[in-house]
Structure 1
């Protein structure tokens, strides 16, 4: 196993791997195809573009997702266009529940790309509104967006 930081020019010979797995990282379908052996498999599990958008909209004025088309359909098309056969695919929208406002603040601070410009100071009034919701409902929910693709090089 080797960690790489440039997905456009991977430091591996062509036709090297039987299986490549990718979790939550970007990839270049052409490079993946180049380094996979014929008949090899690429397995990727990704966080989709709708992840936490509902929560970001509650916290941030004029929130716009950074990559609105990052979903199963779009990524699958990229792989098919590179000559992959899709063996398995699935996409799910599910909910996460926060039972503490501090946990939500922690998430928003560490996932800067989903909560751009978030700070407790700038979002204080909206955090107070969410705290009211938390007290009334017992939780704050957010949509999680995940998808998986298993593709075979043909």
Structure 2
């Protein structure tokens, strides 16, 4: 049991830097089991295969701070990433420009600012919005969309702790629905894999950090608005140990027919 006070933990969570998409600040405060397939490695392999092919191009949509994309060992001659949130655009630019990846500020709403058939590979990790018609449009014939998406009811144990039951929203982002939407946009599903992984949250500072960073979980979150509920969660963790939630993920690979 931590001896740090509730108010101290709240202050720690509020002071944390939430720019970028690196969650290493949570080390020692929360853990998340990873899906078994290793998305970053698979992404790097696909980008590497394009790197030696003249005239190929890749696009990473909603790249966040570019941290995952930057793990790739090599890129094709033309490599682009989009991001909507200004602090993340700046972070991604610092990280990716030295690697030759152009970062484009884009509002994550259609249309993507690129020509039809411009990219051989389009990728994304945990996109907040998925516009299948646009993804299909910018793919070259025979091109591939490869991504890891957040699945249905992900981290809903935490979300519903603050917002109450959300039975309708629990169906959102279901992998079967997304596969149907991809097919409706003219893509062929090559692979679809799912995983449900365990999250353990060890203190309320981690909760404040997460809800400030992943703003769509509790859209109206502020510490003052939810202070009473945060205190309830703090007391629960003090009494029972880590707060347990589960993330859902799916790996999806879709191809535009040649």
TM-score (norm 2): 0.53
Write the deviation string for residues 42-62 of structure 1: whole angstroms up to 9, x where unpaired: 112222341222112112346
Is the counterpart of residue 30 in structure 1 residue 30 in structure 2? no
Structure ranking higher in helix proportion: 2
1 or 2 for the larger relative contact order (CA 8 Å, sep ≥6)? 1
Is the counterpart of residue 13 in structure 1 residue 115 in structure 2? yes
Is the counterpart of residue 99 in structure 1 residue 205 in structure 2? no
Match of 1:122 in 2: 225
Q: Is the partner of 1:39 in helix, strand or coil? A: strand
Q: Superposition pairs for residues 5-154 of structure 1, below 5 Å? A: 5-25=107-127, 26-61=129-164, 68-154=171-257
The 1:152/1:134 distance shift into structure 2, 3 A limit, reads same
Which structure 1 residue ranges, 5 or more long, are not aligned? none
Q: Is the partner of 2:182 in helix, strand or coil? A: helix
The 1:114/1:36 distance shift into structure 2, 3 A limit, reads same
Aligned mates of 1:120, 1:7 — CA distance in 2 = 30
Which structure 2 residue ranges, 5 or more long, are not aligned? 1-79, 83-105
TM-score (norm 1): 0.84
Structure ranking higher in strand proportion: 1
State the shift of 1:33 in Å.
Answer: 1.7
State the shift of 1:82 in Å.
Answer: 1.8
Write the deviation string for residues 75-133 of structure 1: whole angstroms up to 9, x where unpaired: 11111112211111112221211111111122123322111323333333332332232
* Conserved 8 A contact 1:60-1:123: no
**Aligned residue pairs: how many?**
154
